[in-house]
Amino acid sequence: MTRTGLPVVLAFAAAGAPLAAAAADAPPAAYPQGAATFQTDCAVCHGAAGAGLPSLAPPLLSYPARYAASTEGRRQLAMTVLYGMYGDVAVEGRHYAFRMPEFGQLDDATLAALVNFVVFDLAHAPASVAPLAPTEIAAERSQPLDGAAVREHRNSVAPEDP
């Protein structure tokens, strides 16, 4: 290790401290299992709090709540996690054209809890919106798509696409 190694480690530790404090202050997740899956499989691109990363992955703090309020939007959420998505999308006025991987290796209940964490804990959908059921994931699993088709379907549900 070089002489510069230690200050780098200390700088990371200092930067991590306020993050840890913020997490402790956050209200408990309504979907803790979904939260755990999110941190394992999604946070690397969408950020631990779902705010996204500029030009890499979109924020998940508003659109998922709108999708969950319509039948086609609920299908879109299930398709996105099952099959991934690629092609240009606009989210809150910014464009993203990277590749969302597929997570069809996770079972229906795990994916439903994950989507519900995104919809209710990150995007704050109102209580009038019903949580996604594992059967809604299963229905999309029975009709395989590729990520380009998932992107096409999004045209029918996206709030805006400038």
Type and span of the H or E element at 81: helix 71-83
Q: Which of 44, 107, 146, 156 binds ligand HEC (CB under 6 A)?
A: 44
Give 149: exposed, middle or buried? Use CB within 10 Å, 0-12, 13-18, 19+.
middle
Residue 130 CB, nearest distance to ligand HEC (Å)?
Answer: 17
Nearest-angstrom CA–CA distance, 114 and 119: 9
Say whether 68 sits in a helix, a strand or coil: coil
Residue 27 CB, nearest distance to ligand HEC (Å)?
Answer: 20
**Of the two residues 6 and 152, which places its CB atom closer to ligand HEC in the complex?**
152
Asked if 61 touches ligand HEC (CB under 6 A), the answer is: no
Asked if 45 touches ligand HEC (CB under 6 A), the answer is: yes
List of residues 6+ apart from 94 with CB closer than 8 A:
54, 55, 58
Residues forming contacts to ligand HEC in the complex (CB under 6 A) are 41-42, 44-46, 57-58, 60, 63-64, 77, 80-81, 85-87, 89, 91, 96-101, 103, 114, 118, 151, 154
